[in-house]
Structure 1
Amino acid sequence: MRIGSADVPALERGVALLGSGGGGETGAATALLRHRISAGHRVALTPVAELDGDALVVPVGVIGATSVFDEKPPSGAEFFSAVAAVRRWTGRGADALMSIEVGGLNGVLPLVAAVDLGVPCVDADQSGRGVPRLDQLAVAAVGGEVAPVALAEPGGHVLVLAEGSAAEVERTARAFLAGAGGWAAMAMAPIRAAELPGCALLGTVGAALDLGRRALSAGERPADLAAATGAGLLGVGRVVEVARRSGPGFGRGSLTVRDRESLLRLEMENEYLLALRDGAPVASTPDVLAVVDRRTGVPVPCDAARTGVEVAVLRLPAAEFWTDPRRLPVLAPRAFGIDCDPVLL
């Protein structure tokens, strides 16, 4: 599937919705993608089925404080450095790239990286939505190893995490990022294409593009947007409170919407995680909870939520990968310290 300039707005809207309030601002990533397209580069998605089974696919993406991505833009060498470091460490090349996370800017940047490295970008990812931690990627959810991974930060430093559990790699990566400007490009060890159906979510980037097209074609009413995207409409109203709590790890908070005669509260971390109506849970992760501007349909990130804004709250169904009982605990509310069972479509 070739992606042209006319497809970029739909891709941007689709990955922003799947970010579930997280995943990072997509503006800089889509600007880079538009530049590659306008320069005449071929930008395309390659289905996993079209790859040779022995082809080596490297998952890539940006991790860290993606909110500073616009303030500290990439030099252009980060993905080269990260992929090269993994190649040196493992002795295995990169026949193709795939995204670690289709939600947010990582739904776009691997396309740019693939163009720059001259390899295909696979229509698959490691999450199917926005996720905050490396130990919540699909390969970790099925019991695989996340390490080795390489992190390349904008200043030119490269760190290879050669071994360790997924949780240990996550902790070490965050410590590195704290002293490295906030974000880094990441490359994971190559995965054989034949193994991807068991440790990745297939077709997700193309699905994000389709989701964005349907969202952009919907009318102005939230009900029309919900119908066009296949989402459940949890509520429509004004944001009456945004509470943020700092502490160790990711910041936590909540957003409250007055919806007619009820109050809809969303608990959030990097993403929207749980929705409660008058105190009763009505929706939760791993379903995708999206808050959008009532009039424009533009997704409202967790870190941009403000009181007084008229919004609609949507719920998109989780990928089947995450509703499997063996993997559901990885993204269920308790994985984020919320004592609540999953409430799914």
Structure 2
Amino acid sequence: MGRNDKFFNVKIREKLLKNGRVSLFLDWHDGKGKRKKEYTGLYKFVEPSNRFEKEHNKEIAVQIEVLRAERTRQFFSGDIDAALEKRKLKNQDFVEYFSNYVDNYKQKDIKVMRAALNHFIKFCPPPLSAKDVDEKLCRDFKDYLKEQLNRESQSSYFARFKKVLAEAVREKVFTVSPAINIKNTQKSQSIPKDILTIEDIQKLASAECGNLEVKRAFLFACYTGLRFCDVEALKWKNIKGSTMIVSQLKTERQVSVNLNQVAQQLLGESNKAEENVFRLPSSTGTNKVIGNWVKRAGIDKHITFHCARHSFGTNLMMYDGNISTVASLLGHTSWKHTQKYVRAVESLKEEAVNKLPSLNLDI
């Protein structure tokens, strides 16, 4: 049966909602005996009670008429199916799109990509229409990452988020990436100033901590360079005598660390192979404990769990000086990541020299 365009007419329909508003949609017959419906996402107030609601209803009346006329034009030009498909893409749930993208992602940084998704869901839980993903939302997400993470992590996660947006542009979900004008924070090539010296670590070891597991785990990280996620996942099967062998969750790179006497003492009594070595609260909870512990130890520095890794790298470079050794123990894939510890040591040496007392010279 062929098309019958003679009686074609796009009609505006209304559906009463429970919140006292009316949802507007269009419907028509496609000329082949099939009825089409298009939910526009537009609504109006049933009984406008103020100036804002009245103005809103006037604007919506114009918008729905313009859309109805556009669909009529597209029907007769043969473009209506493509227009509806494009609108469908723009109205799809962006969180679902992001999740599907991650599920099909095959690159080596999948764990970082998945972490970026998890942070986005915490920032903006579904449902979230793709048409609502604008520049402001992207900037707000960048600010959210800045509040939650260190500089390197926030940069890494936002870079993955922009990568998803770029793919969405290629798939015509967006005409232009809503984050195209947002510059990503450059990854820090230097470590935080608040690292722990050996003297600081001794103060922490002597000070009371509100959670003994946190204390053991943090000091252990100061002597092994493990990230929080790796300490949290560490099992007894990873300990082989005086050697620890772990596959880093962030990079999936395997590292082998010789445990000195202090690190072995911090491990405590061994248990079943599949048992966790440490039982820690959440990352946020752990850092809260560490903050109170650092104050109690009389250390005037902003310390988080990740500072243990930076302190390990810096102290190792200070006492050993072999960049290859430091890179290997930290599991770095490139020496460019290790160079920041070289610069940190040079900075500490310069600071130490500048602290030497001045002399009143009479020569």
Do they superpose with TM above 0.5? no
Q: Which has the higher strand share?
A: 1
**Higher Cα radius of gyration:** 2
TM range (shorter): under 0.3
> Scaled by the length of structure 1, what TM-score is found?
0.25
Q: Which has the higher helix share?
A: 2
Greater relative contact order (CA < 8 Å, ≥ 6 in sequence)? 1
